[in-house]
Amino acid sequence: MRSRTSSRTGYRADATSAIIRKRIYSVLLLMAGLFVVVLGRLVWVQIVKAPYFRELALEQRMRPVPVDPKRGTMYDRCMRELAVSISADSVYAIPAEVSEPAKTAKALAHVLGMGEDALLAKLTATQQTVWLKRKVDHEAAMEVRRLSLPGIAVAESGQRFYPKDTLAAHVIGIAGIDNQGLEGLEQYYDAELRGVRGQIVAERDATGREIPEGRHSYVPPTDGNSLVLTIDEVIQYICERELEIAIAETGSTRGLILAMDPKTGEILAMAMRPTFNPNSYGKYPSEFRRNFIVSDMLEPGSTFKVITAAAALEEGIVTASTPFYDPGYLKVEDRTIRCHKPGGHGSETFMEALENSCNPVFATLALRLGVEKFVQYARAFGLLEKTGVDYPGEATGMMHQISKVGPVELATYGFGQGISVTPLQLLNAMCAIANGGALMRPMLVRKVIGADGALVEEHVPTKVRQVISSSTASELSRMLQSVIVNGSGQRGAVPGYAVAGKTGTAQKPERGRYGDKRIASFMGYGPASDPKVAVLVILDEPSSDVKYGGVIAAPVFRAVMQDIFRYMEIPPSYAVGMPQGTAGSGNSVFVPDVTGKSRAEAEAGLKEVGLLWRHEGIGDVVTNQVPKAGSQVGAGTTVIVYFGHEELYNREDVEIQVPDVIGKTLKEAALVLGARGLGVDPSGKGLVVRQTPAPGTHVKKGAIVTIFLEE
């Protein structure tokens, strides 16, 4: 019995021992498996992925501080600086390194001109780096460096500076504290001007303290590209100066002067008042920064009549001599369109209607054109679409849909009422007439150049479309000259130059009705025979007694054009004091083109129109003439005809033979010398009795000839 029991006990012990061994083996196997997994993971982390984790750890230890690039410079067309970037210091903190935030805030508060609480909040922030103050002055930056506070440092960055203050402020725009363009060309070309940020990187421990002998690196910023504008600083100054005077004299709420090259579409000046200083733009109301030449629409008034005239001439509806009769009004359905002259102008030709700015005649022309044709030409002149100028926020023109334009609306469109355009659209349309009927795209930037001075991109003039034929443009130009000589634009006449232009006086709509407020305007171009510049003057809501464009805006045009011609060294079309007129108007005639003709042909051509002639130089073919072809001069005027090589009068490096001006009047002498590219310094009155240098002397172009006159 005991033996059987012992046997059973031994069997159970053996079974238990086997189970224990099996469990031990399982545990050992499991541990071996875990060891293999851990070993594999270690191999993966420390060998296979080691480069990745090394970089990740380095990134965690490296604390970058951004370094702003310098924005590109803006130059005018003659490479004069309008916007530059100068070095400025900014103070930043690394909160983890600031050992005593409260004391640090107290020490910096007075230096930076900030409150202690605001500084303390920044010094205890959870960010890696935080800007305390941007663009501090030099003295403050030096004081921060002298204090040598833990976790506080000074970084150099670029600050935008506008050396000419308010000059061309609306064109250039403004840049923000973070080196970003906010308005104007600063905004439109921000991607070109901004550049690429760099950074300063230092290796730090988990608490943010810099690791001694740790890795340091500096990635330099890439400075932005620069812009060469179409704006001319001198022309811009002329326009702003004359606008300032006009605003003061007329009491206008605002005003503008826009100048363009009609052949290229380049904007030479864009002046507006009120204005602001972009160096401290925050001190001015935001509406002062609005570029309303591009972004605002207005009713053009009678300046729009040039568009109606162009369409009517091109369609063959009228010629300059087409007769009209103006009784002082025109009935259109239930409306009466009145002439500004009580009783009307009576019998008049179309040219005289343009000179008189006669509303009934232009309302009649619009009705004869019809809605579709009228809208077709308005669109062709670019008045119902954006011009495409490289500037932000451009508006487009506005008029009723064709289906909603009735006879009354169409008639008022004919003289510029009820239709809205931007000032830029209006002058650009005028430029098309000056440019032989070709509409150009306005532009403000000529070139983009890199920080190294290399050309990045060049903007070339772009022709949008041919709006009217060159012959129509030439005929209309002749008529617009007559507006200056015989019509409403006489106060816009520029002494010595043949110019073309049109006056405008528009009523301002108020709450759906036309009230007493006016917009006085004048636009034109010159010299008429070879236009170099077109100018638009607008005075908004003048408070002066007289509010007509021909009275208060035309003299501003004259003053601007006179100085621009002088600055651009454009020779006069005729002698000052000589009557300017149009063919068939009084005793004035157009000077014919005799260049390329023989002596006999030139003499015959001039005598045929009642002009005298005097020849200069040696040769058989006319190479130059003064006044130029197309100039309007009085009958009996002497035209100086030059023979010889044309480059004699055009090249800068060639020597010029001083002509003999003894016995001539001051005007005649100035005309002869000016045509040769020589200046004149007169002394006395009467006729020239002596000159220095002597006749026949060879001098450089631009030399001054002193003349002595006696009565």
pLDDT in tens, 36-52: 888 888 888 778 777 77
pLDDT greater than 50 at residue 577: no
- Identify the pLDDT of residue 210: 60
Distance between CA 175 and CA 186 in Å, rounded? 6
pLDDT tens-digit series, residues 365-404:
999 999 999 999 999 999 999 999 999 999 988 888 888 8
- Identify the pLDDT of residue 386: 95
pLDDT tens-digit series, residues 461-482:
999 999 999 999 999 999 999 8
Q: Mean pLDDT for the chain?
A: 84
Contact between residue 192 and residue 224 where contact means Cβ atoms under 8 Å apart: yes
Angle, helix 371-380 to helix 359-369, in steps of 10 degrees: 100
- Identify the pLDDT of residue 56: 67
Give the C-alpha distances (Å, rounded to integers) separating 610 from 183, 605, 664, 669. 57, 9, 21, 22
Distance between CA 332 and CA 632 in Å, rounded? 39
Domain 233-567 annotated CATH 3.40.710.10: yes
What is the Cα Rg of the chain in Å? 39
pLDDT greater than 50 at residue 101: yes
Distance between CA 540 and CA 319 in Å, rounded? 34
What tokens appear for 650 in the block?
A: 């055009």
Contact between residue 82 and residue 233 where contact means Cβ atoms under 8 Å apart: yes
Q: Which of 4-8, 192-196, 328-332, 499-503 has the lowest mean pLDDT?
A: 4-8
pLDDT greater than 80 at residue 181: yes
The 8-class DSSP code of residue 665 comes to B
pLDDT greater than 90 at residue 343: no
Give the C-alpha distances (Å, rounded to integers) separating 585 from 351, 524, 581, 679. 11, 20, 6, 33
User: Which residue's structure tokens are 């309303």?
Assistant: 292
Residue 257 has φ and ψ, to the nearest 5°, of -135, 125
CATH number belonging to domain 588-710: 3.30.10.20
Please count the residues of the chain.
Answer: 711
- Amino acid at position 81, single letter: E
Residue 342 has φ and ψ, to the nearest 5°, of -55, 130
- Identify the pLDDT of residue 204: 62
Q: Which of 79-93, 204-218, 516-530, 558-572 has the lowest mean pLDDT?
A: 204-218
Pairwise pLDDT comparison (581 vs 289), residue with the higher score? 289
Q: What angle do CA 308, 310, 315 make, to 5 degrees?
A: 95
Please give the torsion angle defined by the CA atoms of residues 692, 696, 701 and 705, in that order, rounded to the nearest 10 degrees: 20
What CATH architecture does domain 63-229 belong to?
Answer: Alpha-Beta Complex (3.90)
- Identify the pLDDT of residue 166: 93
- Maximum Cα–Cα distance across the chain: 171
What tokens appear for 579 in the block?
A: 């009557």
User: Which residue's structure tokens are 């594999």?
Assistant: 40
Does the pTM surpass 0.75? The reply is no
- If phi > 0 it is left, if psi is from -120 to 50 it is alpha, else beta; for residue 541 that is left
90, 226, 252, 302: the catalytic one is 302
Nearest to 706 by CA among 671, 675, 677, 669: 669
Residue ranges of the domains in the chain?
2-48, 63-229, 233-567, 588-710
Kind plus residue range of the DSSP H or E element containing 439: strand 438-440
- Amino acid at position 182, single letter: L
Distance between CA 365 and CA 309 in Å, rounded? 8
- Identify the pLDDT of residue 647: 40
Is residue 302 among the annotated active site residues? yes
Burial of 545 (0-12, 13-18, 19+ CB in 10 A): exposed
Contact between residue 220 and residue 228 where contact means Cβ atoms under 8 Å apart: no
pLDDT greater than 50 at residue 579: no
